[in-house]
Structure 1
Amino acid sequence: MTKYTVNERGYYGNFGGAFIPEMLYPNVEELRQNYLSIMNDPGFQAEFRRLLKDYVGRPTPLFLAERLSEKYGTQVYLKREDLNHTGAHKVNNTLGQILLAGRLGKKKIVAETGAGQHGVATATMCALKGLECIVYMGEVDIERQAPNVARMKMLGAEVRAARSGSRTLKDATNEAMRHWINNPVDTHYIIGSVVGPHPYPDMVARFQSVISEEIRTQLKEQTGSETPDYVVACVGGGSNAAGVFYHFLDDEPVKIVAAEAAGLGVKSGKSAATTFLGKPGILHGSKSLLMQTDDGQVVEPHSVSAGLDYPGIGPLHAHLWETGRAKFMAITDEEAMQAGFELARLEGIIPAIESSHALAALAYLHADPSEKVVIGLSGRGDKDLATYMKWMG
């Protein structure tokens, strides 16, 4: 165990734990007692690795973006999670959890989704394994991520709208948790990020760690060194970032940079920059940083990207922030959108708007020409074309 891994009580430093209603205790405890032994089982690992290769399409490329590198005066490498089956990093985790649910004898799956990529990945894996699938999604996100809603339905999933609160990711998570409380015996809840009660943050981070595992190997092949100078990723709940950072956490010379959604500006009242605005509190089953009022009511977040439109971050990221291991940047909607257009025009890659936040961080790194910067390109921009077009006027 290192100072950046979860302890036996499910905490990363001061953050984590399992704050759950009594009805969920048997489910969460069953998961906690079994997840590591299942994940470490050679048969499980063999099936997981085979499907990552033959079905998901891993390893994803590590691409040296030459024109982007030239513009920013450093060596920029893109970890191409957008090239996974279903179009984002989410599938790494949903594949792992579907296999794990099968080992636990669960026949039904419930999930939440914001940008829709986790919902699509969950529906895809349920189709592959013949499991019933219900996905909760905020009404606002259903409208702005229509292509992904269509994909989920085509794959056989039932998409249920969350109509409370801001009708986005937080509210979809609330509804999915309520569903699980009412169906505890036969249903497994696939959380899509490194949030929720222990063991979810650790389990999701472990499934996503394949990203940084590959980065090390690929960087060694391309440059002779396994470690970059910077690793950069966008953070909402933070599963993509956890995967990009995971195998570099103990390499202290590697600078870790997390790009949060500042929305219309950190001080605008329309933001999702949790480390700038948040305080310790409990949301969705764990203690972490979250945006809240003085009396503890959750502040509604805002981001142009549905996947970063969340009022908290996972406990691992809160720990990285508190210890100073990671540097957090607040990227506005405008900066993210311009970075997305820039990548499209310089490299012929249209990124998800979530990924564009990480790309926008490049302007603030001031990295040297000799330095290597690896950016997690968490997903592709197909789902966001309507938003991009609206931005273009």
Structure 2
Amino acid sequence: MSKLPNISTSIFTTMSQMANEYRAINLSQGFPNFPVDQKLKDIVIKWTQEEIHQYLPMAGYPPLLEKIAKLTQDSYQRKVNPSTEILITAGATQGIFAAIQALVYANDEVIILDPSYDSYESTILLCNAKPIRIALNEDFTPNWEAIANRMNSKTRMIVTNNPHNPTGKIWSEQDYIQLEKLLDLYPNVILLSDEVYEYITFENKHISIHQREKLWHRSVSVSSFGKSFHITGWKIGYLIATEQLMIEIKKVHQFLVFSVNSIAQYAVNDYIDVVKVSELGGFYQQKRDFFRSLMQETKFELFPCEGTYFQVASYGHFSNENDLDFAKKLVTDFGVATIPLSPFYAGGKDVKCIRFCFAKDDETLIKAAERLLKI
């Protein structure tokens, strides 16, 4: 008997497998295909020659915890205690799993805003808790009236994702004000703030939970070095939470991975000193603008992209196919792999949209656009 009877192979795995099978250009799974910074490679080479190959402390390499505290202070003016309020995780997904497992109990309710990352629901179900999935508005902003209507005494947590995958939407100041007003009514609700694309925003800067002092005592933030530094395969991220919450999260974390890869932690610790995270948004904004310019002559209607390295496009005005069939057709007939949005919705809601990943080199984006022009 399965603990997750309705969970099957993820859409990311399915589309990447199809891309390989049909030798399609893969704009589906969210990973860059351009080289990692040579400075980071050189740092890794140096550390592989040192005797640093054994376990690090469970919470993380102490100098790296200090660097994260400084990064948080510099980026958001929030002072955190590196020894009690930061945890290095084996990627953001593991951090999300540990936080939900530690803080959510059987029969609790957890609010998720759809379209949503697929790991949220499965982790909640493994707690014998109930995911409450609420669709965002048509422009992918939060529907605060709908959220308020589903909050009750059983609500234990609300999961937010900002900047948002898959839509590229970022929250406004007004969204945070609405969230704070709502949480005032439910003092026991915890906020899990997934901010893995925090340094990849464009015209409007990302507003972080770290800038909302009123919510610090009840929030867990999720960050990703993999996303920020284009090293998704390293699977390294971190959580920030108050000591009271972090004590419980660490209890779960220690039995999942105990400690995270030592070479990765040493390397990231050095790399933070030579990289400017403030410039990451500009780098990806050039990618976004280039891809959007290439797509102007295609049939697709592009939604605004305010952050992340994803571009959502609508095709409903020229095809009635469901989004999964349409995405598969793009692979088999046109040689481009994308991600349909329906797997991000409860019940597979089909909004006739697909997601492109533009974290690719220019040659890849050009070739993909040339194929999409044939539709």
Superposition TM-score, scaled by structure 2 size: 0.34
Superposition TM-score, scaled by structure 1 size: 0.33
Q: Answer with 1 or 2: which has the greater Rg.
A: 2
Higher relative contact order (CA 8 A, sep 6+): 2
